Amino acid sequence: MHRIIAAALAATPCVAVAQAQDNIATGQPVGPALTLDQAVTIAGGSAPAANAAQAGIDAAQAARTVAGLRPNPEIQSQVENVVGSGPYGGVRQAETTVGINIPIELGGKRSARIAIADAQFHRAALVAAITQADIRLQVTTLYVDAIAAERRLVTARDQLRIAHDALNAARIRVQAGRASPLEEQRAEVAKLNAEAEVQKTQRLANAIRANLERRIGQPVAGALDGAALDHLPPASFGPTMATSAGTLALAAADADLAMADAGVRLARSQRIPDVTVGPAVRRLSATNDTAAVLSLSIPIPLFNAGQAAVAQASAQRVRAEAQRRMTSLDVEQAITDAQAEADNAATAARNAGGPALAAAQEAARIARIGYREGKFGQLDLLDAERTLSQTRLAAIDALASYQNARARLERLIAPAPVQGN
């Protein structure tokens, strides 16, 4: 009888091998692993946000072309001294003038428009880079959560096996008259709870994997690279905090300030009136002669001299400058918080996956041996196995928290692309 109980309990250390066999039998994804970088690349090429960002770049490029165009000339035709009285009846005394009105921009309006268009193009390029960084963060989070969910499922299945083994052992003990039937009932309840936990964890794992597939735009036929969850930095004290200098967020704020500067320049250039020159040719029907006509028109800035537009642009520039300072402060704070969160999560992961897990495994091993030899009760065994399961789950959660915190930190300190590239 002792050999039967020992065989039932000795099976629990082999759960990893059994789990690998279950993966094949239950249709768990096998084959070449989809790495995180591959998932990010696939998602970046098909994400609607990336398409929208590229469309924004194309629109900004077209706007740059439009800003560099000069005003179109106008053809003007005029007929005078017709359908009048006396000698001006009919069209015999008609004077026909045909000319071209050529607008001439003054005050640097064209160069000011080009400056705004260049700033808008740079801002659109930053939006595209920000979009790619956001896509990487989203995919990384889903990828890490999917690996963590699969490991939680492995742990839940391990617990189910342990519950089955404990139930079998309890039945043997009850049949031998060495334990109360209450032990068998308690083991049965534990097994039912473990089955429910497996079902719940399986559904969550399926949902997270479906969200990952939806995000990257294609099914994930193979497995995921579990190493993406396991990497931890070496333990260190007093980490160097990153700064907001050169980050995407600060570069976007700088681009907004550059557009505001260009807006002030354009508003000031609008205060200088443009000149329209109109060379023309006039034909006099009475003598069949022709003559040249030259016109010059200059608008009078009587009611709108442009001061209000300059004031508006200047206020927008002040707002952009203030927002740039606020962005710098916000990013610095977010980086500090993310760095601390990542460091704390790494510490928790090292502890949960190291000393704490080793202690829980040793306690469970001792409890199995003691229960087999009759030194420990069933409650001691169940408590030790529950503690081991909770420690494993805590280690998984800590690893996932660290990887997600590190991904958020990398998103915050992501460098801005060099202007012109």
Both 289 and 356 in one domain: the answer is no
Both 28 and 45 in one domain: the answer is yes
Both 351 and 218 in one domain: the answer is yes
Domain membership flag for residue 117: yes
Both 290 and 148 in one domain: the answer is no
Do 283 and 296 touch, CB atoms closer than 8 A?
Answer: no
Domain membership flag for residue 377: yes
CA-based diameter of the chain, in Å? 139
Strand residue runs (E) in 61-158: 74-80, 95-104
Number of domains within the chain? 2
DSSP letters, 238-294, are SPPPP-STTBHHHHHHHHHHHHHHHHHHHHHHTTSPPEEEEEEEEEETTTTEEEEEE
Both 263 and 288 in one domain: the answer is no
Both 259 and 393 in one domain: the answer is yes
pTM of the model: 0.77
pLDDT of res. 394: 87
End-to-end alpha carbon distance in the chain:
76
* Residue 139 identity: V
- The pLDDT tens digits along the chain (421 residues) read 333 333 333 333 333 333 433 443 344 555 578 888 899 988 887 788 889 999 999 999 999 999 999 999 999 998 888 887 777 777 788 888 999 999 999 999 999 999 999 999 999 999 999 999 999 999 999 999 999 999 999 999 988 988 888 788 778 877 877 777 887 888 888 889 989 999 999 999 999 999 999 999 888 888 898 888 888 887 654 455 567 778 899 999 999 999 999 999 999 999 999 999 989 998 888 888 889 989 899 988 888 888 999 999 999 999 999 999 999 999 999 999 989 998 888 888 888 777 778 888 888 888 877 776 677 776 777 778 878 888 888 889 989 999 999 999 999 999 888 765 4
pLDDT of res. 14: 39
* Residue 103 identity: P
Both 282 and 398 in one domain: the answer is no
Both 61 and 113 in one domain: the answer is yes
**Between 355-372 and 2-10, two packed helices, what is the crossing angle to 10 degrees?**
160
Domain membership flag for residue 420: no
Both 11 and 77 in one domain: the answer is no
**Between 378-412 and 109-175, two packed helices, what is the crossing angle to 10 degrees?**
170
Instruction: Render the burial of 107-135: b for 16+ CB within 10 Å, e for the rest.
Output: bebbebbbbbbbbbbbbbbbbbbbbbbbb
Domain holding 172: CATH number? 1.20.1600.10
Both 41 and 142 in one domain: the answer is yes
Domain membership flag for residue 237: no
SS3 237: coil
Of 255, 283, 305, which closes a domain? 305
Domain residues for the domain of 300 are: 72-104+273-305
Both 290 and 317 in one domain: the answer is no
CA angle 151, 154, 159 (to 5 degrees): 130
Both 169 and 250 in one domain: the answer is yes
Query: Which residues fall within 8 angstroms of residue 266, CB to CB, at 6 or more apart?
Result: 109, 112, 113, 115, 116, 313
Domain membership flag for residue 419: no
